[in-house]
Structure 1
Amino acid sequence: MPHSSGFGSEFIKDVLRRGDKAIATARNVDRLKDLADLSAATLQLDVTSPMSELQAEMDEAVKIYGRIDELGDDLLKQFQTNVFGAINVVSALMPHWRERKSGFLVVNSSYQSQWGLLPLTGACFASKAALDPLLGYIKTLTLNAGHFRTDVTAPEKLDTFLPVPSKNYQHLKDGLVDLAKQLHRNQPGDTRKAVELTVDMVRGEGKAKGRQIPARTWLGIDAYREVKAKCEEDLRILEEWKDAIEATDVSVNGSC
């Protein structure tokens, strides 16, 4: 039940291409016409709605096909959507999953939420990082994607994505806006290929056939390179400070 743009749209297309059924959701269902034309069912959904409304929407969604297999001030807004919204949707679906005794959740996060924080993006990336431990008790695949060709860097999205707490931070926003303009439509990642791999991992097919599926994965060469470099840096620091780190333990032989 992905949402309406970027990865969400590609998930719907890939699921339909494989012969499965899909429900596309958005706050404004008019944005879903292209997916409806591909035979996706559509449903109005605001993940920040009260739980009673979400459960009513989930009941309506289940009625469409009889079942659902789930693939997906500023700080509060980000957590309402990315954390509490996701948890609310999962909570509304849990009775259905318990009844079926199965369910697989795919969480669309970002490698930058833990490995590459940028100025003014703290609320967004913190909310994405918060989902990992909170959803860990469900069969979950967390996607930590690099830069993919979605509309997140579109000029009209930047005011929402990059709030400025005061004029003292305007220069930071200006720098990120320039970076976003350079990235827009030049990102290295292909959303269709990323979605194809993700669905393969959920179903144990294609590139994932015969492999142990991890709880999280990274998507895109930029994510691979930056996370690998950060891990190597952390390993170097651990070795460099090993004696000092170990010296903080309670002594096993009783000495101070």
Structure 2
Amino acid sequence: MASLVWLITGCSSGFGEQFVLQTLARGDKVIATGRNASTKLAHLQGTGATILDLDVTMPEAEIAAKIKEAHQVFGRIDMLVNNAGYLESGAVEELSLDRVQRSFETNYFGPLKVTRGVLPFMREQKFGTVAFVGSVGGWGAVPNSSAYAACKYALEGLTEALQSEFAALFSRDIQFIVFEPGYFRTEIFSSTNVVHLPSNIPEYQAFNNATVQRQKGIYHNEKGDPAKGVARMIDTLTGSGMAEGKKLPPRLPLGSDSLQVVRAKCQATLKLCDEWEDLIVSTDIPAEADRQAEAHL
């Protein structure tokens, strides 16, 4: 099987770093990207990966130029992994709009711009797969996670839109998936990746302090093994290993905690639909009224 060319964002640590190392181990070609790549990706020098400085918050035209530069390295991009992200923490009432916007710039608009930069090349080569590293936060928000969860919910919608558009226009030779990891032992909860600011509303002080302590308790006590998580994502994207013989799913939870949240949300939603069905469908215009209206046309 011919080697694949991977473009991966956010490679300084965690999932991104693992993607680089594991895809190289497969014999594939890798373009590893990140902010301040000369320093933050220095540990990947000598691995065989091509290192490219790419800040996903740059203007779209600059990102497109970077993607063109990446494409010129091997003449193709087969796999795009949108992994770059960080956690902006704060209660809805306290989060300033600029902090919410900053979260969206990295966690939503960044992947959107990178994907838009890659798609013309995938359309030209008539093949490719785009993966978004979403989150269980795209299924349910916990306290102080509104900015992050909103971005991950948005990635769910973006993925579904791309799936439907490309299925209609270009068959399924270009595919999309959003992964929904639970808590993995990455650096997402480290002091460099999660942003806390002092409370500006006194009533939230104790609440925010509790959130900080909860997140500190999670850090490096997560259930998920990032090496295993990435291995399963690679299996899924390449149809190998544990995913051999299976079609690429539209989304995929990762980790027992994510599975629990997704199942509970689905069950609760189905229960709601059953309990409120009469009210829900009562808003439809009766079919008989439609027929009568058509008869008078």
Q: TM-score, normalised by structure 2?
A: 0.79
How many Å apart are 1:59 and its aligned residue?
1.9
C-alpha contact 1:82 1:128 (8 A) present in aligned 2: yes
Unaligned runs of 5+ in 2: 1-6, 83-97, 164-174, 290-297
Q: Distance in 1 between matches of 2:282 and 2:148?
A: 37
Question: What is the aligned counterpart of 1:52 among 45, 61, 73?
Answer: 61
How many Å apart are 1:43 and its aligned residue?
0.8
Residue 178 (structure 2) aligns with: 142
Q: Distance in 2 between matches of 1:128 and 1:26?
A: 20
Q: Which moved more, 1:86-95 or 1:215-224?
A: 86-95
How many Å apart are 1:212 and its aligned residue?
2.6
Letter in 2 for 1:12: V
How many residue pairs match? The answer is 251
Q: Which moved more, 1:238-247 or 1:139-148?
A: 238-247
Q: Distance in 2 between matches of 1:67 and 1:252?
A: 52
2:81 aligned with 1:71: yes
Residue 85 (structure 1) aligns with: 110
Q: Distance in 1 between matches of 2:199 and 2:154?
A: 22
| Partner secondary structure for residue 104 of structure 1 | strand
C-alpha contact 1:74 1:163 (8 A) present in aligned 2: no
Question: What is the aligned counterpart of 1:41 among 46, 50, 60?
Answer: 50
Question: What is the aligned counterpart of 1:26 among 28, 31, 34?
Answer: 34
Letter in 1 for 2:31: I
C-alpha contact 1:120 1:163 (8 A) present in aligned 2: no
Letter in 1 for 2:227: R
How many Å apart are 1:242 and its aligned residue?
2.7
Q: Distance in 2 between matches of 1:83 and 1:173?
A: 25
C-alpha contact 2:131 2:179 (8 A) present in aligned 1: yes
2:120 aligned with 1:95: yes
C-alpha contact 2:137 2:148 (8 A) present in aligned 1: no
How many Å apart are 1:28 and its aligned residue?
1.3
Q: TM-score, normalised by structure 1?
A: 0.90
Q: Distance in 1 between matches of 2:240 and 2:179?
A: 17
2:215 aligned with 1:180: yes
| Partner secondary structure for residue 172 of structure 1 | helix
Residue 130 (structure 2) aligns with: 105
| Partner secondary structure for residue 133 of structure 2 | strand
| Partner secondary structure for residue 51 of structure 2 | strand
Question: What is the aligned counterpart of 2:147 among 123, 136, 143?
Answer: 123
Root-mean-square deviation over aligned CA pairs: 1.8
Q: Distance in 1 between matches of 2:67 and 2:193?
A: 28
Residue 220 (structure 1) aligns with: 255
| Partner secondary structure for residue 149 of structure 2 | helix
How many Å apart are 1:165 and its aligned residue?
6.3
Pick the structure with more helix per residue: 1
Q: Distance in 1 between matches of 2:149 and 2:199?
A: 17
C-alpha contact 1:120 1:172 (8 A) present in aligned 2: no
C-alpha contact 1:24 1:40 (8 A) present in aligned 2: yes
Letter in 1 for 2:24: L
C-alpha contact 2:139 2:262 (8 A) present in aligned 1: no
Residue 231 (structure 1) aligns with: 266
Q: Distance in 2 between matches of 1:164 and 1:96?
A: 45
Identity of aligned residues (%): 34
2:213 aligned with 1:204: no
Could you list the per-position Cα deviations for residues 5-44 of structure 1 after superposition, in whole angstroms to 9, with x for gaps in the alignment?
Answer: 2111111111011110111111111121222232211011
Q: Distance in 1 between matches of 2:149 and 2:36?
A: 25
Distance 1:242 1:61, change over 3 A: same
How many Å apart are 1:151 and its aligned residue?
0.8
Q: Distance in 1 between matches of 2:52 and 2:113?
A: 17
Letter in 2 for 1:81: T
Q: Distance in 2 between matches of 1:46 and 1:156?
A: 16
Q: Distance in 2 between matches of 1:165 and 1:99?
A: 50
Could you list the per-position Cα deviations for residues 145-199 of structure 1 after superposition, in whole angstroms to 9, with x for gaps in the alignment?
Answer: 10000111123433x2x45662333323211111111111110011111111111
C-alpha contact 2:104 2:151 (8 A) present in aligned 1: yes
| Partner secondary structure for residue 62 of structure 2 | helix
